[in-house]
Structure 1
Amino acid sequence: MFKTILVPTDGSERSDKAINNAIDYAKHCGSKIVGISVAEPYPFSPLAESSMAIDPALYEENVRTLAEQHVRKIADAAQAAGVPCQTATMMSFAPDEEIVNAAKTYGCDVIFMASHGRSGLSRMFLGSKTQKVLAHSTIPVLVLR
């Protein structure tokens, strides 16, 4: 039986499915939830800097706020179900690494996460965060589609 469940979210409907499943499991098994969201920093490019109209500080503030809203959704759902929950947000260009590190940091024994179901070229070029977590995690990963 899993006692501490890590639930990463990007705010998508598929992530909501993982959240709901994790909370249902936690409620029935007496587990706790750790919700995380990883915001990607401003993609700085010195060559394009002079032509960019976006303020990097404003961009990062906005993506951090969005990540905080995503984990707030987890916390609110867990509270409504009576499930203990803690949340964290972080900034990183490698969300998959942050997910694996968070599982270790918070002593999680399982990860419930969504897969966006990409295949073919889009998967090859965009990469699969879920696939990378599966490859590097030392604990079980439950992937929901």
Structure 2
Amino acid sequence: MYQRILVATDGSPLSERAVEHALALADLTGAEVVALRVVPRYPQTFYEGGIAPGTDEVRRIEQQWADEARQTVQAVKTLGQQRQVKVKPLTVKSDLIAEAIVAAAKRHKCDLIVMASHGRRGLKRLLLGSETQQVLTHAHVPVLVLR
């Protein structure tokens, strides 16, 4: 049924549920898993009267985020090994999370995307946005959403 499943994770407990479902589905179907974590760039906003961090500090923070992302996807790989599921860990640096997820699914020829949704509604959804909704709108493969 599925050959390659992309699971988007940020290391949160909610996305860990998505990882578990993706690994279980891959185990049942014999699919491979691409474990993806999108790492944003450090925001370069300037507020009047605010002090912008130095470039060394920005580099340090971005490196910390990248290291945490690698640890997250490596943990998925370890879980996959326990189930004898092949997992390819992948981190991508992008400020456009939904677009990065859809692009990674296309690039790696995934035939299913698995991700979690916080289920925000109303003003919170408007202010915080919905990466899941954007993936659902733009993906060209099925998307399994867990809440």
TM-score, normalised on structure 1?
A: 0.94
Query: Does the CA contact (< 8 Å) of 2:46 and 2:52 recur in 1?
Result: no
Unaligned segments of structure 2, at least 5 residues:
none
State the one-letter code of the partner of 2:20: N
2:20 corresponds to which residue?
20
State the one-letter code of the partner of 1:125: L
Give 4+ residue runs of structure 1 displaced > 2 Å after superposition: 45-50
1:38-95: CA deviation from partner (whole Å, max 9, x where unpaired): 0111111355697134611011101111111111121111011000110110111101
Equivalent positions of 1:1-80 (< 5 A) are: 1-46=1-46, 51-53=51-53, 55-80=57-82
Give aligned pairs, total. 145
2:114 corresponds to which residue?
112
TM-score, normalised on structure 2?
A: 0.93
What is the identity percentage for the equivalent residue pairs of Structure 1 and Structure 2?
Answer: 39
1:99 corresponds to which residue?
101
Q: Distance in 1 between matches of 2:49 and 2:31?
A: 47
Q: Distance in 1 between matches of 2:60 and 2:111?
A: 36
Compute the RMSD of aligned alpha carbons: 1.5
Equivalent positions of 1:80-91 (< 5 A) are: 80-91=82-93
Q: Distance in 2 between matches of 1:50 and 1:125?
A: 23
Secondary structure of 1:23's match?
Answer: helix
